[in-house]
Amino acid sequence: MAGYAIIKLGGKQYVVREGEKLLVDRLDLAENKTFHPDVLFEGGDGKAELKPKGQRVTAKVLGHVQGEKIRIGKYRRRTGYRRHTGHRSKLTQIEIQSIGPKRSTAKKQEETAAEKPKRTRSATTSSRTRTTKTTTKATT
Quick: pLDDT tens for 82-99. Answer: 999 999 999 999 999 998
pTM: 0.65
CA distances 124 to 129, 138, 139, Å, are 10, 38, 41
Cα dist from 80 to 6, 9, 12, whole Å? 49, 43, 40
| SS3 state of residue 125 | helix
Label residue 100 by pLDDT band (50, 70, 90).
confident
